[in-house]
Structure 1
Amino acid sequence: MSSGTEKATPGFLVWRLSMKWRVAVDRAVAPLGLTHAQYSLVASLYGMQRGGERPSQRRLADHTGLEALYVSKLARGLESAGLLERTRDPRDPRAVQLALTEQGQEVTRRAIQVVQGLLEQLLAPLGGRDAPRAKEFTRDLATLLDAPLDPFSETVPNEKEQS
């Protein structure tokens, strides 16, 4: 452990790791004209399109964990840059579907390669991406992401629950 993290809480360490990752991805994809948030959007869209899906902005927001209004803002910027197109969903005129343009697919492929290199660097201390420790770490992260968080729930059990 690095100095100063021995007594850190898991929440602090998750926050620090997420910030380290965001900054690294921001720097790595900047030469391609992307930010970390834009990368998250286009990489997710790329994977969904490869699976035959043309998701709505709402579906992409749910998939990425980004707020729907933020996805809309990012999509407008990416559309202006020629990387994606937004069209009305023929089944629901209120919904906007997203698709990468050819240029968007090319930029995204390059960005994915760059970010995969970063991921290899991040997971090297755990033995690399395919190592058992890295796979366990991935499972642990997925478990934590699936755990519900409600800032308004009681965090301390009441007396009846303790008995």
Structure 2
Amino acid sequence: MSKRSEGATPGFLVWRLSTKWRVAVDRAVSPLGLTHAQYSLLASLYGMQRSGLRPSQRRLADHTGLEALYVSKLARGLEASGLLTRTRDPSDPRAVQLALTEQGREATQEAIGIVQKLLRQLLSPLGGPDSPRTREFTQALSVLLDAPLDPFGTTDPETEQS
């Protein structure tokens, strides 16, 4: 553990790691004209499309954890850049479906390769992406992401059932 991390709370360490990751991804994908948030949206859309889905902005927002309004703003900018298309959902005229263009698929594939290399660097102290420590770390992160958070303190986590 680094001297800077001694005595730090888990919340502070999660914040520092997420900030470190966001900044690193921003720098890594900036030569492609992308930000971390744009990359997250494109890579998620890429994965969903590969699974045969054509998600709505709302579904993509839920998947990425980004606010729906922010996804809408990002999607409009990415559409203007020619990386994705936005169309009305034929089954729900209020919903907007997203799809990558060919240019968007190519840019996303390139960005994914760059970010995967960065992820290998991040995970190397744990033994790399396929190590037992990385699997444990990933499982712990998943547990924390699934834990409900109530910023207003209206629920008691000790008595809340899962």
Pairwise mapping of residues 14-33 of structure 1 onto structure 2 (< 5 A)?
Answer: 14-33=14-33
The structural deviation recorded for 1:151 is 1.1
Structure 2 letter corresponding to 1:105: R
The structural deviation recorded for 1:87 is 0.1
Structure 1 letter corresponding to 2:7: K
Q: Tell me how far apart the structure 2 counterparts of residues 126 and 83 of structure 1 sit (CA, whole Å).
A: 35
The C-alpha deviation readout for 1:19-59, integer Å capped at 9, x for no partner, is 00000000000001100000000000000000000000000
Pairwise mapping of residues 11-50 of structure 1 onto structure 2 (< 5 A)?
Answer: 11-50=11-50
Q: Tell me how far apart the structure 2 counterparts of residues 58 and 90 of structure 1 sit (CA, whole Å).
A: 15
TM-aligned CA distance change 1:10 to 1:85, over 3 Å: same
The structural deviation recorded for 1:4 is 2.1
TM-aligned CA distance change 1:45 to 1:138, over 3 Å: same
The structural deviation recorded for 1:2 is 1.2
TM-aligned CA distance change 1:27 to 1:94, over 3 Å: same
The structural deviation recorded for 1:139 is 0.3
Pairwise mapping of residues 54-133 of structure 1 onto structure 2 (< 5 A)?
Answer: 54-133=54-133
The structural deviation recorded for 1:155 is 8.2
Following TM superposition, where does structure 1 have runs of at least 4 consecutive aligned residues deviating by more than 2 angstroms? 154-158
**Structure 1 residue runs without a partner (length 5+):** 159-163
Structure 2 letter corresponding to 1:74: L
**Matched residue pairs, number?**
158
The structural deviation recorded for 1:152 is 1.5
* TM-score, with structure 2 as normaliser: 0.95
What's the counterpart of residue 161 of structure 1? none
What's the counterpart of residue 52 of structure 1? 52
Among the aligned pairs, what percent are the same residue? 78
Q: Tell me how far apart the structure 1 counterparts of residues 135 and 47 of structure 2 sit (CA, whole Å).
A: 21
What's the counterpart of residue 134 of structure 1? 134
Q: Tell me how far apart the structure 2 counterparts of residues 134 and 123 of structure 1 sit (CA, whole Å).
A: 7
Rg larger for: 1
The C-alpha deviation readout for 1:87-112, integer Å capped at 9, x for no partner, is 00000000000000000000000000
The C-alpha deviation readout for 1:62-100, integer Å capped at 9, x for no partner, is 000000000000000000000000000000000000000
Q: Tell me how far apart the structure 2 counterparts of residues 65 and 103 of structure 1 sit (CA, whole Å).
A: 25
Secondary structure of 2:85's counterpart equals strand
Secondary structure of 2:93's counterpart equals strand
Q: Tell me how far apart the structure 1 counterparts of residues 44 and 3 of structure 2 sit (CA, whole Å).
A: 35
Q: Tell me how far apart the structure 2 counterparts of residues 73 and 131 of structure 1 sit (CA, whole Å).
A: 38
